[in-house]
């Protein structure tokens, strides 16, 4: 069995450090927002996790296409890793968003385009795991998984556009119309520092987790192979 | 088989030649429709189910004249979506159960012809169900605005998108262990844009919206149809290959 690569061990330590620093920046360093108060601090991790969640789903769809084109199992392992890690991060995003929305929007949940799209995306990838669970042949599982991430990746943006026709109250902090939406605000320099650092921190953590998951996938395949050899 | 041998040698190659894409597609449609019109298993199940769903909605939502104003489109689309999954599941399970799918795959035709054949027959079943349910709904609730051409156009566009994704996913779900349960779970989250855009567009039409007002959902519906027909056409090969 190959031992854990040294770079990965270093990345583990770096991940923990950047998470600590990001937490410090978000909770202590960044100034308190005037209207919303301390609950606005949720924003830094909310956007950080949402960013890597989204990144993972896009990477998964690309990995799906790469798998269908090459039939190389490494793409399948990458795809599963990306979807698994992103599903978790997206869940954290939704929970953090709810915590923020309760005092600011006066509700835990509303059927806003972003919220709905996040929920639907989450459901698509839960369905993805259920699909994979129902297939024994690893090659077929990889093929179906790739097709489904592709469909999911295509339908999510259309879902977003469709629900935008219904209604929206989600603030857009990055961009121009920041103050218009309910709970919008503009960032000060210190806020911006905390914000960009948390994006950076979550990207590092994301890479670290994906790497671990790919390694785990490789070991899983090896165990399967050994079991098969034993039974023969 | 024996008739092929009796043909003159010059005719044999033409007889055995690969059929055109269109011919192969139509052959599958014809097969499905012929089988369905003999057994009527699928259509009767879908129809009875649709009626039951509407009956349940009638009491669950208290469909009086004021409520109907806002929920008619939603009720209809929910009914079609549920009945649609029933049909999609059955139509693919029939192929899988007796090894018919393997037979189809062995045929010397383009695989995507199989997809289009199945999709067109699934669409036909769904449209037949809609053609019976819509007048019935109109009769039960005195809702004659259903019969405007734009409304029927939206129903058609929505059904096309729903069936395109549904046929692809049903080909996937029948090959899994949890087949019957899996199709709606796979299909609904991916088909949400179709259902919501259709509800938005058809609901707007029932509430006398102008064409400009329903243009946005209509555009998205068309975009979805084109994108997903193209994708299903491209990836169907990967779903059925052994």
pLDDT tens for each residue of B135-152: 999 898 888 888 888 899
Planar angle of CA B177, B179, B183, nearest 5 degrees? 140
Cα radius of gyration (chain A): 20
Give the CA dihedral A210, A55, A71, B179, nearest 10 degrees: 90
A6-24 and A42-70 helices, crossing angle to 10°: 150
List all residues of chain A from 16 to 55 with a beta carbon under 8 Å from chain B.
none
> Is B185's CB within 8 Å of A130's CB?
yes
Residue A1 inside a domain? The answer is: no
* Phi and psi angles of residue A169, each rounded to the nearest 5 degrees, phi first: -135, 5
B179-206 and B65-97 helices, crossing angle to 10°: 150
Touching check for A10 and chain B: CB below 8 Å? Answer: no
Q: What sign has the CA pseudo-torsion A114, A120, A124, A129?
A: positive
Residue B15 inside a domain? The answer is: no
* Domain count of the fold of chain B: 1
Planar angle of CA B158, B162, B164, nearest 5 degrees? 120
Helix (H, G, I), strand (E, B), or coil: what is residue A230?
A: helix
Measure CB to CB from residue A124 to each of B177, B190, B217 and give the nearest one.
Answer: B190
Domain that holds residue A145: 6-231
- DSSP annotation of A175 reads S
Touching check for A151 and chain B: CB below 8 Å? Answer: yes
- B136 versus B17: the higher-pLDDT residue is B136
Residue B77 inside a domain? The answer is: yes
Touching check for B12 and chain A: CB below 8 Å? Answer: no
Measure CB to CB from residue A155 to each of B177, B190, B238 and give the nearest one.
Answer: B190
Touching check for B193 and chain A: CB below 8 Å? Answer: yes
Split at pLDDT 50, 70, 90, the class of A172 is low
Residue B62: left if φ>0, alpha if ψ -120 to 50, beta else—which one? left
Q: How many CB pairs under 8 A join A and B?
A: 90
How distant is the Cα of B5 from the closest Cα of chain A, in angstroms?
39
Given this model, what pLDDT does residue A63 score? 94
Q: Determine which helix (DSSP H) or strand (DSSP E) holds A203, and give its type and residue range.
A: helix A189-231
Q: What share of chain A has pLDDT > 70, as a percent?
A: 91
Q: What is the distance, to the nearest Å, from the Cα of residue B61 to the centroid of all Cα atoms in its chain?
A: 27
Residue B121 inside a domain? The answer is: yes
> Is B193's CB within 8 Å of A166's CB?
no
Cα radius of gyration (chain B): 20
Residue B130 inside a domain? The answer is: yes
Tell me which chain B residue has its CA closest to the CA of residue A118. Answer: B189
Touching check for B234 and chain A: CB below 8 Å? Answer: no
Residue B55 inside a domain? The answer is: yes
How many helices (DSSP H) and strands (DSSP E) are in chain B? Answer: 10, 0
Split at pLDDT 50, 70, 90, the class of A167 is low
Helix (H, G, I), strand (E, B), or coil: what is residue A33?
A: strand
- Lowest mean pLDDT: which of A61-65, A161-165, B57-61, B215-219? A161-165
Kindly list the distances between the CA atom of residue A107 and the CA atoms of A32, A104, A163, in Å, as whole numbers in the listed order. 22, 8, 19
Q: Give the residue from B199, B203, B238, B241 with the most A CB atoms within 10 Å of its CB, the best one to mutate.
A: B238
Residue B14 has pLDDT above 70, yes or no: no
List all residues of chain B from 87 to 146 with a beta carbon under 8 Å from chain A.
none
* The model's pTM: 0.85
Nearest in space to B130 (alpha carbons), one of B157, B104, B111: B157
Residue B12 inside a domain? The answer is: no
Q: What share of chain B has pLDDT > 90, as a percent?
A: 46
Work out the mean pLDDT of chain A and round it to a whole number.
Answer: 86
Residue A222 inside a domain? The answer is: yes
Residue B11 inside a domain? The answer is: no
B175 in Cβ contact with A134 (< 8 Å): no
* Domain count of the fold of chain A: 1
Residue A22 inside a domain? The answer is: yes
Q: What share of chain A has pLDDT > 90, as a percent?
A: 41
- Distance CA(A74)–CA(B13), nearest Å, equals 45
Residue with tokens 């998205």: B220
Touching check for B6 and chain A: CB below 8 Å? Answer: no
Residue A223 inside a domain? The answer is: yes
Q: Report pLDDT digits (tens) over A27-39.
A: 888 787 777 778 8
Residue B176 inside a domain? The answer is: yes
Domain that holds residue B215: 21-240
**ipTM score here?**
0.85
Q: Determine which helix (DSSP H) or strand (DSSP E) holds B185, and give its type and residue range.
A: helix B179-206
**What residues of A are in contact with residue B216 (Cβ under 8 Å)?**
165
Given this model, what pLDDT does residue A1 score? 53
Work out the mean pLDDT of chain B and round it to a whole number.
Answer: 87
**What residues of A are in contact with residue B191 (Cβ under 8 Å)?**
155
């Amino acid at each position: 069995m190959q031992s854990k690569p040294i770079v990965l061990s270093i990345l583990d330590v770096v991940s923990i450090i950047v998470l600590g620093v990001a937490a410090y920046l978000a909770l202590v360093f960044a100034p308190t927002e005037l209207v919303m108060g301390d609950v606005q601090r949720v924003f830094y991790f909310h956007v950080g996790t949402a960013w890597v969640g989204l990144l993972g789903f896009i990477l998964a769809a690309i990995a799906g296409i790469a798998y269908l084109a090459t039939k190389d199992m490494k793409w399948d392992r990458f795809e599963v890793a990306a979807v698994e890690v992103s599903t978790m991060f997206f869940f954290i995003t939704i929970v953090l968003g709810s915590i923020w929305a309760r005092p600011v929007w006066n509700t835990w949940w509303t059927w806003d385009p972003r919220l709905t799209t996040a929920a639907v995306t989450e459901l698509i990838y839960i369905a993805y795991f259920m699909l994979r669970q129902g297939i024994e042949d690893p090659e077929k599982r990889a093929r179906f998984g790739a097709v489904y991430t592709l469909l999911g990746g295509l339908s999510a943006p259309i879902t977003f556009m469709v629900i935008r026709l219904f209604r929206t109250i989600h603030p857009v902090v990055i961009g121009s119309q920041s103050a218009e939406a309910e709970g919008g605000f503009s960032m000060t320099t210190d806020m911006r520092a905390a914000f960009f650092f948390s994006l950076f921190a979550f990207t590092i953590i994301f890479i670290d987790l994906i790497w671990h998951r790919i390694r785990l996938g490789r070991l899983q395949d090896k165990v399967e192979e050994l079991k098969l050899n034993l039974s023969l | 088989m024996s008739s092929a041998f009796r043909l003159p040698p010059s005719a044999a190659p033409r007889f055995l030649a690969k059929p055109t894409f269109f011919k192969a597609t139509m052959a599958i449609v014809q097969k499905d429709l012929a089988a369905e019109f003999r057994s009527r298993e699928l259509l009767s199940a879908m129809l009875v189910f649709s009626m039951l769903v509407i009956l349940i909605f009638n009491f669950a939502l208290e469909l009086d004249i004021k409520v109907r104003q806002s929920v008619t489109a939603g009720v209809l689309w929910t009914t079609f979506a549920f009945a649609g999954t029933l049909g999609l599941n059955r139509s693919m399970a029939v192929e899988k159960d007796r090894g018919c799918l393997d037979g189809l795959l062995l045929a010397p035709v383009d695989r995507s012809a199989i997809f289009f054949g199945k999709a067109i027959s699934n669409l036909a079943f769904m449209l037949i169900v809609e053609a019976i349910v819509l007048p019935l709904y109109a009769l039960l609730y005195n809702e004659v605005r259903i019969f405007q051409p734009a409304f029927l156009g939206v129903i058609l566009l929505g059904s096309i998108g729903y069936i395109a994704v549904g046929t692809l996913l049903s080909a996937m779900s029948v090959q899994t262990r949890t087949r019957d349960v899996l199709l709606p779970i796979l299909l609904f989250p991916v088909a949400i844009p179709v259902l919501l855009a259709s509800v938005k567009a058809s609901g707007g039409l029932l509430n006398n919206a102008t064409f400009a007002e329903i243009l946005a959902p209509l555009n998205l519906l068309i975009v979805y149809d084109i994108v997903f027909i193209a994708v299903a056409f491209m990836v169907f090969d990967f779903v059925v290959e052994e």
